[in-house]
Amino acid sequence: MNQWRCVRLALLLGCAPVMAAEEVPAGFPPQAVESFLAEAAEETGLPQPWLAATLQKATFQPDIIAAISRPAERTLTWGQYRALFLKPDRIEAGLAFYAAHRETVDAVAEAYGVSWPYVLAILGIETRYGKFFGRWRVLDALATLGLAYPPRQTFFAGQLRVFLQQMHAEGLDPTDRMGSYAGAMGYGQFIPSSYRDFAVDFDGDGRRDLWAVADALGSVANYLAVHRWTPGAEAARPLRSVPEAAKALRATGLDPSTTVGALTALGVDGLAGLEASTPVALLEMQGEDGAEWIAGLPNLYVITRYNRSYLYALAVNDLAQALAQGAP
């Protein structure tokens, strides 16, 4: 340890050894581990021996670096994306999940004012209703990206710190939690900061556990409610005819950029029954049979707060419709 560093750490820790270099698991830069431990102890107030002992169990995963560095795959059209997520087996599995957990699902919908098909559709698209939580230990994913991947190190080190804090607070074992290569966890694939901010203890056992059905359902519904879900309102409407004059109002970002009133005045058909002041994102999507025009309503915008993509939000909406139609 150089002198300056020792002086700086001494202010925090009395210069106690954080983790001897030979104790740092292979693949992680010892200096990154050391500064992470010092900062995490300072910012979270967690016992340093616990932090160090936990990190010692992390495994550096080069495949995760490879996965996150890979260039984005070709962007799917709406038609291709929809076909991927709206297969009959995903609808059937959702209905089976509803049948198995109906009491909890209905209680969650009632408590948060979010209709159950939307909550289930998010679980269905994220993890096939909890069938695949991800193939990585969350600890490995976040330690690999937060300590040994400079391009996103700041973000993921922050997520690693929050993850350790959450696991400690909830009394869960940070070394056996499974998730995605980017550290998204549980039925709804929450990243650690979303876990901290939006997870709820719906089954009342004293811990917020995103791998437990009731807490996972409650947490997804709470996420939507906090982001201003409108109870009972639809999320999107297909539009039958969109005159040329209205096409100029097509959305270029995720924010609704026009209103029902403005579109109706330009001759857009299909918005009957909606308040003129309702914000709309006018979407032109490439469906399987060519262009589809869709009115993205405020609840669709709320779904994009969960995952910032119209493809995702529209797939959740369509899966939700299919689940609602198939429900007993």
Which residues bind to Ca ion, rule: CB under 5 A? 201, 203, 205, 209, 215
Three-state secondary structure call for residue 174: coil
N- to C-terminal Cα distance for the chain?
66
Tokens found for residue 54: 């936990």
Three-state secondary structure call for residue 284: strand
- Give me the phi and psi of 173, to 5 degrees please: -80, 115
Looking at the Cβ atoms of 39 and 201, the one nearer to Ca ion is 201
Cβ burial of 206 (10 Å; 0-12, 13-18, 19+) is: exposed
Rounded least distance, CB 304 to Ca ion, Å: 28
Contact 285, 312 (CB under 8 A): no
Concerning whether 126 is annotated as a catalytic residue, the answer is yes
- Give me the phi and psi of 183, to 5 degrees please: 80, 25
The residue from 103, 126, 275, 292 that is catalytic is: 126
Looking at the Cβ atoms of 215 and 318, the one nearer to Ca ion is 215
Looking at the Cβ atoms of 203 and 284, the one nearer to Ca ion is 203
Q: Among all residues, whose Cβ is closest to Ca ion?
A: 201
**Residue ranges of the alpha helices (H) in the chain?**
3-13, 30-44, 48-55, 62-69, 78-85, 88-100, 102-112, 116-127, 138-148, 153-170, 192-198, 213-226, 244-247, 260-265, 298-306, 310-326
Looking at the Cβ atoms of 147 and 210, the one nearer to Ca ion is 210
Looking at the Cβ atoms of 176 and 269, the one nearer to Ca ion is 176
Q: How many other C-beta atoms are found inside a 10 Å radius of the C-beta of residue 87?
A: 11
Tokens found for residue 57: 């169990």
Looking at the Cβ atoms of 28 and 202, the one nearer to Ca ion is 202
Rounded least distance, CB 207 to Ca ion, Å: 5
Tokens found for residue 34: 């050391």
- Give me the phi and psi of 93, to 5 degrees please: -65, -35
Rounded least distance, CB 93 to Ca ion, Å: 24
Cα separations in angstroms, 208 against 49, 126, 131, 139: 24, 19, 19, 18
Residue 80 neighbours by CB under 8 Å, 6+ apart: none
Active-site positions?
126
